[in-house]
Amino acid sequence: MDKGQTFEDRLRAVSLRVTRPRVAVLSAVSAHPHADADTVIGAARAELGSVSKQAVYDVLAALVDAKLVRRIEPSGSPARFETRVGDNHHHVVCRNCGDIADVDCAIGEAPCLHASNSHGFSIDEAEVIYWGMCPDCATKKLLN
């Protein structure tokens, strides 16, 4: 996806009708990478004045289906959303505070897509989550 495109252009490119809630939700996810739905709802409401939770959930589902937004679901965390799509990147999650950061594939072209046994599946994506402690939490732990 071209970073120079407007949110409206991105919606049109995937044949989605441009609506104020869709633009607000796409803008919110773009501004808050790895945000949960409640954060997206709050940001969309700040922009629009009012929008129902259900409308935001419906927009998020449509954006995920259109591959404009990626949904990730780290264990023990609500679903998170990001606009970085189509590059098979991974994530690192802090076990203490839940902070999430992107991690690019380490070597070559999508090396994680080569499963040792596909069991007959046609694999088109791999999702890897690294778990650990973020620098802030590690520093706090050392100070305590």
Residues of the chain with pLDDT under 70: 1-3, 106-114
Q: What is the pLDDT of residue 1?
A: 47
What backbone phi and psi angles, to 5 degrees, belong to 27?
Answer: -65, -45
Tokens of 140: 């706090």
Q: Enumerate domains of the chain plus CATH numbers.
A: 7-72 (1.10.10.10), 87-143 (3.30.1490.190)
Q: What is the pLDDT of residue 80?
A: 97
Q: What is the pLDDT of residue 141?
A: 81
Cβ atoms within 10 A of the Cβ of 119, count?
6
